[in-house]
């Protein structure tokens, strides 16, 4: 008996978010911690190109635009459903495109060869080839630019029962905390000649990483 083909990641994300996109920002503010800390640390100047990979509803891009006036905003997402919400939220305030974090061409998709700031916010935990996505995204930095990553951490400071319940609940939405993200970020930083700063959030709930490209 032939097996049913697995849906593509884009189709899966559209299925997950077709309805959820309408309540995404309201619900996620209760457990996607560290996003505003990441935004506050961007140190973006007017004219800088800021890209969010897997931009979802556009919530982060809107906040980045308010926190760092004068920056140029860009976003991409693999889900056409999420991009509907992002376009409605951002209007003409950002250039958006539908693309795969593992293989996007920034020039053809967004009209830019690189970016001074790139954000990956709670996205690697949903991307099957997350290592490939992190490496490819790091390759789109302009000289001296920085890639800012926030995602679930090891959750090691949480009580065992709560940690197990949280992991099981996240799995329902195809989310898998990447406990080996620190090692992967270090490997990519070394290979690409980037400086790396890492931080573990309270109780290990989230992790923050900043990869900064050398100026050429």
Q: Read off the CATH number of the domain in which 184 is found.
A: 3.40.50.150
Q: Is residue 39 part of a domain?
A: yes
Q: Is residue 89 part of a domain?
A: yes
Q: Is residue 173 part of a domain?
A: yes
Contact 167, 9 (CB under 8 A): no
- The range of the structural domain enclosing residue 32 comes to 26-212
Q: Is residue 8 part of a domain?
A: no
Cα–Cα distances in Å, from 143 out to 109, 147, 192, 200?
20, 12, 12, 27
Q: What is the pLDDT of residues 7-57, one digit of tens each?
A: 476 665 655 555 455 445 434 543 577 999 999 999 999 999 999 999 998
Q: Is residue 83 part of a domain?
A: yes
* pLDDT of residue 211 exceeding 80: yes
Rounded mean pLDDT of 70-86?
94
Which of the four pLDDT bands, split at 50, 70 and 90, describes residue 3?
very low
Residue, of 50 and 214, whose pLDDT is higher: 50
Rounded mean pLDDT of 1-6?
37
Tokens 């556009």 map to which residue? 58
Q: Report residue 206 as tokens.
A: 């989230």
Q: Is residue 100 part of a domain?
A: yes
Domain count, the chain: 1
Mean pLDDT score of the chain:
88
Q: Is residue 87 part of a domain?
A: yes
Q: Is residue 16 part of a domain?
A: no
pLDDT (0 to 100) of residue 20: 53
Contact 184, 190 (CB under 8 A): no
What is the percent of the chain with per-residue pLDDT over 70, rounded to a whole number?
Answer: 86
Q: Report residue 86 as tokens.
A: 């992002």
């Amino acid at each position: 008996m032939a097996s049913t083909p697995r849906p593509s990641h884009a189709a899966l994300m559209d299925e997950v978010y077709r309805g959820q996109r309408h309540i995404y920002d309201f619900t996620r503010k209760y457990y996607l911690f560290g996003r505003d800390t990441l935004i506050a640390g961007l140190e973006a100047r007017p004219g800088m190109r800021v890209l969010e990979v897997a931009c979802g509803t556009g919530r982060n891009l809107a906040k980045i635009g308010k926190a760092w006036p004068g920056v140029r905003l860009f976003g991409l997402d693999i889900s056409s459903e999420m991009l509907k919400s992002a376009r409605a939220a951002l209007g003409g305030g950002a250039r958006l495109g539908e693309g795969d974090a593992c293989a996007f061409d920034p020039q053809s998709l967004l009209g830019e060869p690189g970016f001074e700031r790139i954000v990956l916010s709670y996205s690697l935990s949903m991307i099957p080839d997350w290592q490939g996505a992190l490496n490819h995204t790091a390759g789109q930095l302009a000289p001296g630019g920085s890639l800012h990553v926030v995602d679930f951490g090891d959750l090691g400071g949480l009580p065992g029962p709560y940690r197990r319940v949280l992991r099981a609940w996240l799995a329902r939405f195809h989310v898998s905390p990447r406990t080996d993200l620190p090692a992967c970020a270090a490997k990519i930083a070394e290979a690409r000649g980037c400086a790396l700063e890492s931080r573990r959030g309270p109780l290990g709930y989230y992790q923050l990483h900043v990869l900064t490209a050398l100026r050429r």
